[in-house]
Amino acid sequence: MRQSLSLITLGVGDYARAKAFYEGLGWTVAMDLEETAFFPANGVVVTLWSREKLAADLGIADSGASWSGAALAHNVASREEVDQIVVQAQVLGAEVTREPSETFYGGYAAAFRDLDGHVWEIACNPGFGLSGDGSVILPEGTG
C-alpha cells in the first residue's frame, strides 16, 4: 500500500449547510456532483457527503457518535492566523473546544468542531516547516 491519502470524506447531516460552512471559511468547491463536494487541498481532497450514504457505502453501522478519535490539523505560519481562523469558524457556527493557547510542543493551537462534529486543530508549530500549499515539512533526522 503506497503511503498516500487520496481523499478524506466528512459525512454530513445537511449537505447545503456543511458546504456553506467550508465556503464561509474561504474554501472553493472544485466539483459539486450529486450532493458531493470536492475541495482539493494540498494533494489530498476534502470531500463532503451524506453521512448516511457514506455509512451504507462502507458497510458500517452508524450509531450516530460524535467523536471517534481522529482530528484534522490545519497548520498556519503565525499565532494571529490561529486566532483569526477560530473566530471565523465560531461565527459560522463551529464549536470551539480548545481556545487558542500554548501547546506542549512549544507551539500555539486551537480546535473547533464543524457543524457535523468533525474536529479541526488550527496550529502554529515552529518546529515544523510550512510549504506554500499548507503542507508541513517535518524536521530532518528524527525518524
* Chain residues 53-92 in contact with its own copies, contact rule CB under 8 A: 54-55, 57-60, 62-63, 65-76, 85, 88-89
Output the CA angle 25-31-33, nearest 5 degrees: 115
Residue 107 CB, shortest distance to its own copies, in Å, is 11
Pick out residues in 101-130 that bind its own copies (CB under 8 A): 103-104, 111, 113, 116-119, 121-123, 130
How far is CA 54 from each of CA 18, 48, 50, 101, 116, rounded to the nearest angstrom?
Answer: 15, 10, 6, 35, 14
Closer to its own copies by CB, 15 or 27: give it: 27
Q: Is 134 among the residues that bind its own copies (CB under 8 A)?
A: yes
Q: How far apart (Å, rounded) are the C-alpha atoms in residues 119 and 70?
A: 7
Which residue type is seen at 46?
V
Q: Which is nearer to its own copies, 20 or 41 (CB)?
A: 41
